[in-house]
Amino acid sequence: MDLEEYLISKFSAVIRSWPSELRHDIYALSLYRDDDSVPYRPAVYLVYNTLTHAQSRKPGNLDDNESRWNLALWQHDQWVGIEDQPDGYGKGLDEKGTQDLDIWLRSARQEHGDDVGSLIAAFAALCVRVARRLHEIGVIRESFGRDIPIIMHDDEWSEDMDQNTEKANPPGVAKEFLEAVVF
């Protein structure tokens, strides 16, 4: 198993462990990358938001799109992280995950050297493949009873994030999100 397969396995298990009432209320997932960690120990978090939470976070000055799609307004106590050192949000990697992360990082450094931008792009591509596979193997549709978007987030929103979100999802699944966050 490599890092991609490890992440697919871990995130699949987490998603399937959520109670059905919660899964019914979830309208979107996110794979949030901590790009500051990429050159050293990449970290990615599986985040969700619920319709109930989005409606409760809609103060008078926010429109529906912002309350639904702005990651800063999502449920920050519900993040599941795959990282080397848990910081309160995440879960530390088990021995297999640590080995897979080390192998991936070594391989990425051989290919890209110490170019931080290239390492971040390689980790972003890995996360896109993980999200896409969660759709392809049926985890999303089976768990939520429908396709829901997996948004690709990092610290700074960019056009690359829109493109990665589009690649991570089946055609049309992320349309509402992509239209809401027009660059």
pTM equals 0.87
Tokens 């050293």 correspond to: 40
d(CA 129, CA 4): 8
Amino acid at 33: R
The pair of three-digit structure tokens given for residue 47, joined into one six-digit string: 């985040």
d(CA 147, CA 169): 9
Give the domain ranges of the chain.
3-180
Query: Cβ distance 79 to 32 under 8 Å?
Result: yes
| Predicted confidence (pLDDT) per residue in 5-32, tens digit | 988 998 999 999 999 999 999 999 999 8
| Predicted confidence (pLDDT) per residue in 149-174, tens digit | 999 988 777 778 889 999 999 999 99
d(CA 169, CA 76): 23
Average pLDDT score, the chain: 82
More confident residue, 78 or 31: 31
Tell whether the model's pLDDT for residue 148 goes beyond 90. yes
More confident residue, 109 or 58: 109
| Predicted confidence (pLDDT) per residue in 30-52, tens digit | 998 887 776 677 788 898 999 98
